[in-house]
A = this chain, B = another copy of it.
Amino acid sequence: MPTPVRGRLADDREILLYDSDTGLGVDRRDLPRRSPLPVTTVRRDPRTGDRVIVAPARQERTYHPPRQMCPLCPDPDGRSSEIPAADYRVAVLENRFPALSTVGVPYRAVPEANPLRVEELGTGRCEVVCFSSDHDGSFAALSDEHARLMIDVWAHRTAELFARDDIAEVYCFENRGAEIGVTLAHPHGQIYGYPFRTRRTRDLLRTAAAYRAEHGTDLFESILADEIADRTRLLVRTEHTTAFVPFAARWPVEVHVYPNRHVRNLIDLTAAEADDLALVYLTVLRAFDALYARPLPYIASWHQYRADAEEGYLHAELFSVRRSADKLKYLAGSESGRDAFLNDKTPETIAADLRAVIA
| B-binding residues in A (CB < 8 A) | 43-56, 58-59, 63, 99, 114-117, 171, 173-175, 180-182, 190, 192, 194, 198-201, 203-204, 207-208, 211, 214-215, 219-220, 222-223, 226, 230, 246-250, 299, 301, 317, 319, 323-324, 327-334, 336-347, 349
Minimum Cβ distance to chain B for residue A74 (Å) = 25
Q: A52-B248, A323-B59, A331-B331 are in contact. Are A301 and B46 (CB under 8 A)?
A: no
When the two chains form the complex, which single residue of B50, B181, B347 contacts A339, counting CB atoms closer than 8 Å?
B50
Residue on B nearest A190 in the bound complex, by CB:
B333
Beyond the given A53-B343, A54-B346, A301-B333, could you list 14 further A-B residue pairs with CB under 8 A, ordered by the A residue number? A46-B207, A47-B203, A47-B208, A47-B223, A58-B344, A59-B345, A116-B223, A116-B226, A117-B230, A174-B333, A180-B332, A198-B340, A201-B338, A299-B336
Provide the bound-state CA to CA distance between A174 and B226, in Å.
Answer: 39
Per DSSP, chain A at the interface is mixed
So how many copies of this chain end up in the complex? Answer: 2
A175 to chain B, nearest CB (A): 4
| Cβ-defined partner of A46 (8 Å) among B116, B248, B331 | B248
Residue of B nearest to A46 (CB): B223
Whether B330 and A200, one on each chain, are in contact in the complex, defined by CB atoms closer than 8 angstroms, is: no
